[in-house]
Amino acid sequence: MTSLNDLHTGYAMQGRIDERAPVRNTSSIEIDAPAEKVWALLSDLRGWERWWPEHKVLDLGAITPGATFRWRLGGVRIRSRFAVVTEGRELTWSGVVLGVYKAVDRNLVEALPGGRTRVTISESLAGPLAGLLYPAAKLRVGHERFLTAIKKEAEK
């Protein structure tokens, strides 16, 4: 299994997920709001809790490559490190859950014609029995809930 450091440097810092991981998903949504507004919501991790109550930041400093943060998704605590922070475009991090499950999360914001925006989330997850405990279909449902929530908030 790939170490968390190798996953961070070889995948997350390159703006890609681990395509060999047993659990992977990519989901997108189009939003009737400008990319700047969507990016402002996406890059304000502390503010996510207002429109996505499943998420809570426990510890967050600067949002810069290499900076670490701790957060909770549902009842699960996650320790993450930013890999790519491209203003207005990309927010990617690696993370570990329960010390053994390793993930890469990549969030892309793309301006579309007519002041619309596409947000794409890609994630890979690896660890013992990851595919049985957290199958791709469950990951997809979580991504779609997040995307629906950010769309609703951005379109207000």
Q: DSSP secondary structure string, the chain?
A: ---HHHHHHHTGGGT---TTSSEEEEEEEEESS-HHHHHHHHH-GGGHHHH-TTEEEEEE---STT-EEEEEETTEEEEEEEEEEETTTEEEEEEEETTTEEEEEEEEEEEEGGGEEEEEEEEEEESTTHHHHS-HHHHHHHHHHHHHHHHHHHT-
Q: What is the pLDDT of residue 43?
A: 97
> In Å, what is the CA distance from 76 to each residue of 46, 98, 156?
17, 8, 29
Q: For the segment 25-76, what is each residue's pLDDT rounded down to a tens digit?
A: 999 999 999 999 999 999 999 999 999 999 999 999 999 999 999 999 989 9
What are the pLDDT digits (tens) for 114-123?
999 999 999 9
For residue 59, the model assigns a pLDDT of 96
The arithmetic mean of pLDDT across residues 100-108, rounded, is: 97
CATH 3.30.530.20 assigned to 4-154: yes
